[in-house]
Structure 1
Amino acid sequence: MSGTPTPRQALILWCLLGRHGSALQSALVPKIDKADREALLAGRYVEATKEGRSLRLTVTDRGWNWAGEHLRAPLPPNFRVLQDWLERIGADLAASGRTLADLVGPPPEAPAPAAPPARAKKPSAAKAPKKPTPKQLRARIEKAYLALTGGERAKAVRLSALRAELAEFDRATVDAGLAAILRGDETARLSQFSDPKSLDAAEREAAFSPAGEPFHILWIQS
């Protein structure tokens, strides 16, 4: 990599700095190409550590210094509005004498881990309920959904609440029902939180992640 990041690599740095300098690669938008990530690693602008099924990218001191000195560095054309804002921020920092790190500030403290939800007492093997058919499981999920929304549809229901409402089933059974919805249910869909910072430990634990991409919300239409 040359001494200067490309416009797309500069955009990656700003995406990370907007999250206090560190984030899971899977949480960043737009998607990061391997070539750009490896170039930033080789240039020592970021560091990468394995976290679950994803990589956590963290801006190094070199990356912070470069960003603070290059607020006018070109970005991809589609991000002109960000380019304009960075120029305004650069002018303000120059006038006030503050640094980019002063503006971004320290990352928020991690929330205290939530107490794990109480597990339903496992029935004895002789009284274990029969495994529901796909149709029965879909109907039970919808019943739990309506119980949580007060009988209304087209409302967001968190999977943490849904799993608690379906406590009679193990996680694998509930996941099978969610997987069927994800494969092509015309009246239901799964989605993610628009702001990953709003996730607490309970939401992360309850997420449905069939291919490494977590879903946290269920919608059922009329």
Structure 2
Amino acid sequence: MKHFTELTDSATRIVDAAEGLIQQVGYNGFSYEDIAQSVGIRKPSVHHHFATKVELGAVVVQRYTHRFREALLRIEGTVTKAPDQLRAYAELFFNTYEQDGRLCACGMLGAESESLPEEIRSEVRRFFQINAEWLTSVVEKGVRDGSLKANRPAADVAQALLAVLEGAMLVGRGLRSERGPRKMVDALFSYMWA
């Protein structure tokens, strides 16, 4: 199976198209024909780069997770206070949603997980584990320094925040709300700030 670091320029364009389609219609909502039309190539060219849709889906999630992890490292390196780190984290979701109501690629795939091959499900689990662990560490730090309050274990608060962000994107899309996840996250944060 390919790894996202091995992609040619043409393969990268295919992965870009697949990621956008996953964010709009999910894994089960697009075909190689859709990819070919989006990229402006023939369907056999898509198969040349990715023999199976499973391989393409796994590469999309690998790369998405890697970029998200890089964003978390940037937040750690540039933002010091836990509440500000959580706000910067939420901005990652807000920015995705503001791109024509796109959803988190792994959120979409998580909703489809029962119908996905294990190769993709395991990559999606990895995305959520990385995010939950990072959020847990931020919440723990904020509770320790008194900048956050939590009457539940940090891991529970972290998963609740992740669930609110993912769910708020879905609800925002369903309601056709321009604000999407912002309003719900603002409400949650108002209870967490010490």
| TM interval, short-chain normalised | under 0.3
Which structure shows the higher strand fraction?
1
What TM-score do you get using the length of structure 1 for normalisation?
0.24
What TM-score do you get using the length of structure 2 for normalisation?
0.26
Question: Based on CA coordinates, which of the two structures has the bigger radius of gyration?
Answer: 1
Q: Which has the higher contact order (CA 8 A, sep 6+)?
A: 2
